[in-house]
A and B are shown apart, each in its own frame.
Chain A
Amino acid sequence: MDVFNAIVQTLDSTIRLSVPLLLACLAGLYSERAGIFDIGLEGKMLVGAFAGAAAASVFHSAFLGLGMAILISVAFAMIHGFASITHRGNQIVSGVAINFIAAGSTIILGQAWFQQGGRTPALQPGERFEAITWPGAGAIHDVPILGPIYSELISGHSILVYLAFLMVPFTWWVLFRTRFGLRLRAVGENPAAVDTAGISVAWLRYRALICTGVLTGIAGAYLSMVQNGGFVKDMTAGKGYIALAALIFAKWKPVNAMFACLLFGFLDALSIRLQGSPLPIIGKVPVQFMQALPYILTVILLAGFIGKAIPPRAGGVPYVKER
């Protein structure tokens, strides 16, 4: 029974740890499918986390915080759009710039506004998203096997967790079953064809970036308002890059993205759980190795040893109407 409980607990923290990855990964999916590389996911999550926690603690409302997180994150996505769509700048360079501006400004503004060394004030109950207990979770808890699974794994998460997992089928539906999704995918493969059909490439790509901004905003809000009771500087700690890795790992598909993020979340949960304790057969695994594993796996995938990752064809190339 101990082993079973340990597994349930590890899976539970897997879910918690993969939610920000999943949201950011789906965010990247929208923009990369539209042909805009976005390595600024990290920065947009970070400003989202900061804006969310700051607004929630000033206005005493979790939902206002979430709204502000989305708003600021979309604003940063629009900077990326302005540079890479309107001015046809290098998308990678623009993404790098956004990450730096986000990292610096959250610390400077946080320190200036709250004077707590770059932190925002600890969020009070009501200012953060609380866990939702599903009906009957308490009653069923002692039932073997099913009880812990229902009450720990399925019930007892905040609304953003469920939202994140609902975004997976929703994103699939948008991309593969709507006109907007078809055009979005087309503009990432062959923008000239979309242009010929009389559809604005720029506006379509801007809309894809708005979707990206909304999702990174939610991802940031999750970090600062659910996982942590407030903003801490550099709290994204490379999650945006892991999300990027997950996106490649998922070969730019929404359902795969969920599994990739769950895998990376599981590795993270496992490395926290195993800290220092030896594994059977293999012996003691360094924590650093577990932390590096998502990156190593992605490199191996990119090298073409686990299937082949083919990015959207027009990715990273600014669209020029006519020379």
Chain B
Amino acid sequence: MSTPYAKLPAWADYGLIPVINLFVAFVVAGFVVLLVGENPFRAAVILVEGAFGKGTGIAFTLFYATTFIFTGLSVAVAAHCGLFNIGTEGQAYIAGLGIAVVCLSFDSVLPWWLTFPLAIVASAVVGALWGLIPAYLQAKRGSHIVITTIMFNFIAASIMVYLLVGPLKPAASQAPQTRNFFAGAELPKLNWIIELFGAKIRSAPLNISFLLALIMAFLVWLLIWRTKLGYEMRTYGHSPKAARYAGISETRIIITAMMISGALAGMMALNPVMGDQHNVAIDFVSGAGFVGIAVALMGRLHPIGIVLAAILFGMLYQGGAELAFEMPAISRDMIVIIQGLVILFAGALEHMFRPYIQALFASFSPRSVGMEAVKGKGA
């Protein structure tokens, strides 16, 4: 992805521009709120209070954020390799199958701290395999990864619906979901951490997979910027031609990147399935894979940015629920609009304000956008 634009200081590139893009997305969302006939400022206050006002709110915010960290990292790893993995949704959904198999087999035999690692492996492996097929088709047969991953989302959904209304459903039950897991497949809650700070929590699903998400964020940083594999992935993402010239195997790098991406997407399923619902239900991913696209773009593909963006989206999800309660005209679908606007302004239109900001910087200090030949670290 070459940038035909002059360089900005790093803090403007990674801090100022995303903030401006985000701001514009929220201003446009504010207009939608106006159109519906509500006060956008009051809506914003309710949203923030709902997300951070009480301990329970914070716990819910972090619970949602956990999910989005996984999906955001998944999209980002593929994107560093120049691949648009739009199939995070399907990879996470099908990974629920791996978790179901592990949990339904071991939940009455093993304690959670043995079931959990098994479930991590199962979810990652199933997610990775679901990413492997599109990757193989892209690398070997030249089929476009965006299209194949979209198709695989639908195929995953069909398989899961088939299994959840059929073989995986207990015979006595009507609901399209597996039986509830026993204590051996329930993840311990993390609410006590927030309670340490004096807040009270009634019941919130924040669980240990939040820590797993943070560990994964660190590992992704390590992978992308501190290993040979990550370097090769970034090289391929920057210029496939250069990578080929440098002797990097195209097939290997595409397949590896997509499998890591799929594994991260798969691990997302741990949070809602083992941490909250304690069963695998139809549509449990409910769009989190697509939120990952917004999160990755807003976090500028950097793990720190992704964690921050995930918390922001967690705030929108939790605050949005409160908002729907306070303002009946605004349902939770408002978040879907905001998500779309963030993807539009932080993703597709990311360079819209760049020339103006550059002109502004140039007028203050010509050297900050000057002819420095030194390139910053990879974007």
Residues in chain A within 8 A of chain B (CB atoms): 37, 39, 79, 82-84, 87-94, 96-105, 107-109, 111-112, 118, 238, 241, 244-245, 248, 286, 288-289, 291-292, 295-296, 298-299, 302-304, 309, 311, 320, 323
| B196 on the A face (CB < 8 A) | no
Query: What is the chain B residue whose CB lies nearest that of A309?
Result: B143
Q: Which chain A positions have C-beta within 8 A of B142?
A: 304
- Residues of B115-148 contacting chain A, CB below 8 A: 137, 141-144, 146-148
B330 proximity list for chain A (CB < 8 A): 108
In the complex, the answer to whether B341 meets A101 with C-beta atoms within 8 Å is yes
A288 touching B158, Cβ below 8 Å: yes
CB within 8 Å of A: which residues of B?
4, 32, 35-37, 84, 86, 137, 141-144, 146-148, 150-152, 154-155, 158-159, 161-162, 166, 290, 293, 297, 329-331, 333-341, 343-344, 347-352
Measured CB to CB, the closest approach of chain B to A252, in angstroms, equals: 13
- In-complex Cβ contact of A101 among B37, B150, B344, B350 (8 A): B344
Tell me if A100 and B147 are in contact (CB < 8 A).
no
Taking CB atoms, residues of chain B closer than 8 Å to A311 are 144
Which single residue of chain A is at the shortest CB-CB distance from B33? A108
Give B163 Cβ to nearest chain A Cβ, in Å: 9
A296 in contact with B155 (CB, 8 Å)? yes
Is the Cβ of B150 less than 8 Å from the Cβ of A39? yes
A237 to B331, alpha carbons, bound, how many Å? 20
CA A88 – CA B350 in complex, angstroms?
A: 10
Inter-chain CA distance A299–B147, complex, in Å, is 8
Set A97, A296, A299: member contacting B348, Cβ < 8 A = A97
Chain B residues with Cβ below 8 Å from A248 are 147
Bound form: Cα–Cα A244–B155 in Å: 15
CB distance from B82 to the nearest CB of A (A): 11
Chain A's closest residue to B140 (CB) is: A303
Taking a contact as CB atoms under 8 Å apart, the answer to whether B155 and A302 are in contact is: no
With known contacts A97-B347, A323-B4, A304–B333 Cβ distance under 8 A: no
Inter-subunit contact A286/B162 (CB<8 Å): yes
Most-contacted residue by chain B among A98, A101, A296 (CB, 10 A): A101
Q: Which residue of B lies closest to A311 (CB)?
A: B144
Which chain A residues border B162 with CB–CB below 8 Å?
Answer: 286, 288-289
**Chain B proximity of A182: nearest CB distance (Å):** 25
Q: Which residues on the A side are within 8 Å of B349 (C-beta)? A: 82-83, 87, 89, 94
What is the CA–CA distance of A84 and B352 in the complex, to the nearest angstrom?
A: 11
A104 CA to B324 CA, complexed, in Å: 14
Distance in angstroms between the alpha carbons of A182 and B32 in the assembled complex = 41
List residues of chain A with CB within 8 A of the CB of B333.
Answer: 103-104, 107-108, 118
